[in-house]
Amino acid sequence: MNLIASQPYYQVQREVSEGQQKRSVSDRRIDLYHDRITTHRREFLLTHVFDISYRRIGGGIGLLYLHTSIGVFSYTVNTDPKPFIALFKSMPTDSGRQGEGSS
């Protein structure tokens, strides 16, 4: 598999122990290949990814949404995902994926 693009995201985990809250941040990435998208815990065939969208929530942070056949998955990002989204949307849709502009 040849990597086409990668988008950093991060995951925040909070744990309460002995009355104190501990917070840990894990840096991760979403990788785009010619036939799939992979994250730290999931893998989606492109035929199952209908769209990718993004919404800024402030402070340089936003949510990247993967719209898939099994649901919508959100990822917290602090870098602009527009180039990643543009590459995804420019990929051929002949594999059954609903591409931009198709009905």
How high is the mean pLDDT in each 10-residue block of the chain (103 residues)? Answer: 95 91 94 97 97 95 98 97 97 63 41
Range of the structural domain that residue 26 is part of? 3-90
- Report the pLDDT value the prediction gives residue 92, as an integer from 0 to 100: 85
Round to whole Å and give the CA distance between 15 and 49: 32
What torsion, rounded to 10 degrees, do the Cα atoms 43, 75, 97, 46 define?
-20
Token pair listed for 10? 């991060």
Closest CA to 51 of 23, 9, 84: 84
Burial class for 26, CB neighbours closer than 10 Å (0-12, 13-18, 19+) = exposed
Confirm whether 10 is domain-assigned.
yes
- Report the pLDDT value the prediction gives residue 97, as an integer from 0 to 100: 58
- Report the pLDDT value the prediction gives residue 103, as an integer from 0 to 100: 37
Round to whole Å and give the CA distance between 50 and 71: 10
How many domains, in total, are found in the chain? 1
CATH code at position 60: 2.30.29.30
